[in-house]
Amino acid sequence: MTAKRWCKLILAVLLIFGSLPVWAQQRDIKLELGFAGEIVADNWNPLRLTMRDQPDAELVLEIDHGNLREGSKIFRYLAPLSGQRGISVFEDDVFIPVWRSFSWLVQSGEVILASGSFDRRQLDPRPLELILSNDIGTARTFFDKEARVIEAKADDLPERVASYQGVNTLLLDGSAANPRLAAVVAATVAGVKTLILEPLTPERTALLRLAPEPRQRLGAGWIARAPAANAAEVLTDLPSLELKPLTEALLSPEMTREPTGIPQFIVLLLAGLYLVLILLMIRFGRGPGILAALSLSLVLSLAAWGYFRPQQETLLRARSLHLGSGDLALTSELQTLFRLPEGLERLNLQARPLDVDNYRQSPTELSFAMPRWSQATLILRPVLSNAQLQWQGEMLVNNSSQNLSDVFVLGLGPQGTLPPGASLLLRFSDDGLVPALYQPLSAALPVGTALARRGGQIHVALAPEFTSLAWSQP
C-alpha cells in the first residue's frame, strides 16, 4: 500500500472517530413535536425535548411562515435548557403556523448539540384522531378513510389543554396502558370527543368518575362510554364546537378602536390663542416682550408635554371567553395592543399574534417590534379554569363571588342579573333579541346555551343534555 493510500486511510479513521461524539449527542437529544411526530399546522402543538448528560443549552425553533408575495416572516421560539447528569425533559406548547421552512437546533454556547428540520410536505392542518389501543387496526375502522388516525401512548398525553387544540377524538379501548385522569380531563375540556369503549376493565373503573353517564359534557368537549359496535355512531352523533371562530369573534369594534385624542377644533383654537398672545407680546413689549414670549413658549411646551402625553406607551384591551360545562371551563383570551411610540413590546405571556410578521416566543415571554401608532391583536394560549356559570339540573347557578350580568339563554331570551352563589329558574322572554356582544358567538352555540358577562369576561354554560328545541317555544 502506498504512502498516499495510508494517509487517506488514517484520515478516514480520524474522521470516523472524531464524529462519534456528535453522533452520541444526537442520540442523547430527542425532539418530539405534536403527537407521534404528527404536527397539526395553525394550532398549538405539544413539544417535548429529552436530553441525557448534556450541559446547559438553548432550544431554538425557527419558522418562516411567509409566502412568495409577502416575503419572509420569521417566528422564533427560544427556551433555556438546564443541563444535568442523567435524563432531563423539557415540555411546553408551541403554536405552529403554516410554514414555508421549519428548522430547529439545540446549542450550548457556540456548539450545536443537535439540529433538524421539518419538511413542508409534513404540513397538514387536519385534526388528529388519537387512539390508545393495542388493536389499532380495529380502532381505525371507527373513522373515515381520510381521517388522521394516530396511535398514541398513555405516557405521551400531556396534562395541558393547549396541547389538544389540534385533536378531534381520544379513543380508549382498555387494551393499552391506563392514561392519567388529568390528561383525559385536559383533552376533554379542550374540546376533544373522548370515547371509552365498554366493557371497562378493572383498571379502567377510575374513568367512571369522569363518565358516570353514557355521555356528558366536560368543559368544551364530550366524554362518553359505548360498546365497540356503536363507537362509530356515537362519535358521529357527538357535536363538535368550532373553537377558533368563537375566540376570534371576541374581536369587536370596541377592541380595535383607536385611542381618542384632543378634538382637532380645540387644538386649533388653543394654537390660535397662543399665536395671538405671542404676537401681542412681541408687538407691544419690544425687547422685554420677546424674552417674555420665549419664556412663555418654554413653559407652555413643558406643560403641554406633561398634560397631554399619555400615561402609558401601550394601551391594552382584553376580553376573555370561558366555555364551560360541569365544573370546568376552557378559557381563551384575546388582547389588542395599541402602541403610540415605536418600540419593542415585551409581554409576559404565551400567545399567537394575528397581525405581526416577526416575533419571538419563550416559555414565559412574547416579544415583537411595533411601529409608532400601530395595533396588534393577540390570542393567548388556552388554559383550564373553574366554571363560574354552570348548569345544575335545569337551574342556572353563579359559582363566582360577583354578579353576572346580561344573562341570556339561547332559545329562551334574557334572564336578568345572577347574583353570586344564586341559582336561576329559567323563564321564557318575549324579547328574544340576542345582545350585540353575544351575536357573533350565538351562531356557533347550540340552543339552550347560557351566556353572561362580567366586565370583559364572557361566561358560557354549554347546553346540557336535557336541552331541546322546544325551549324556543313559549
pLDDT in tens, 401-428: 999 999 999 988 899 899 999 988 888 8
Q: What is the pLDDT of residue 115?
A: 93
CA distances from 185 to 132, 204, 254 (A): 15, 14, 35
> Across the strands, what pairs with 49?
31, 90
CATH of domain 21-122: 2.60.40.10
Lowest mean pLDDT among 19-28, 78-87, 165-174, 372-381: 19-28
Question: Residue 297 in 3-state DSSP?
Answer: helix
In the chain, what percentage of residues exceed pLDDT 90? Answer: 51
- Tell me how far apart the alpha carbons of residues 251 and 27 are, in angstroms, rounded to a whole number: 46
Centre a 10 Å sphere on the Cβ of residue 287 and count the other Cβ atoms it contains: 8
341 confidence band (pLDDT: 50, 70, 90): confident
- Tell me how far apart the alpha carbons of residues 169 and 123 are, in angstroms, rounded to a whole number: 20
Cross-sheet strand order for the sheet of 128-132: 148-151, 128-132, 167-172, 193-198, 221-227, 215-218
Residue 397 has pLDDT above 70, yes or no: yes
Burial category of 213 from C-beta neighbours within 10 Å (exposed 0-12, middle 13-18, buried 19 and up): exposed
**Residue 290, CB-side half-sphere exposure with 13 Å CA sphere:** 2
- Tell me how far apart the alpha carbons of residues 243 and 190 are, in angstroms, rounded to a whole number: 9
373 confidence band (pLDDT: 50, 70, 90): confident
Residue 10 has pLDDT above 60, yes or no: no
Answer CATH for 248-257+314-384 from 2.60.120, 3.90.930, 2.60.40, 1.20.120: 2.60.40
Alpha helix ranges (H) inside 106-252: 136-140, 181-189, 231-237, 243-248
Q: Could you check whether 128-241 and 248-257+314-384 share the same CATH topology?
A: no
209 confidence band (pLDDT: 50, 70, 90): confident
Mean pLDDT for 47-52 is 94
Smallest Cα–Cα separation from 61: which of 80, 51, 75? 75
- Which set of grid coordinates corresponds to residue 318? 382584553
- Which set of grid coordinates corresponds to residue 54? 448534556
Q: What is the pLDDT of residue 65?
A: 94
Residue 314 has pLDDT above 50, yes or no: yes
**Domain spans of the chain?**
21-122, 128-241, 248-257+314-384, 262-309, 388-472
Cross-sheet strand order for the sheet of 29-33: 29-33, 43-54, 84-96
Residue 233 has pLDDT above 50, yes or no: yes
Q: What is the pLDDT of residue 25?
A: 44
Q: What is the pLDDT of residue 368?
A: 95
Lowest mean pLDDT among 196-200, 228-232, 358-362: 196-200
Mean pLDDT for 65-93 is 91
Tell which wins on pLDDT, 16 or 379: 379
Question: Residue 296 in 3-state DSSP?
Answer: helix
Q: What is the pLDDT of residue 275?
A: 75
CATH of domain 128-241: 3.40.50
Q: What is the pLDDT of residue 5?
A: 57
> Across the strands, what pairs with 378?
335, 353
Q: What is the pLDDT of residue 312?
A: 66
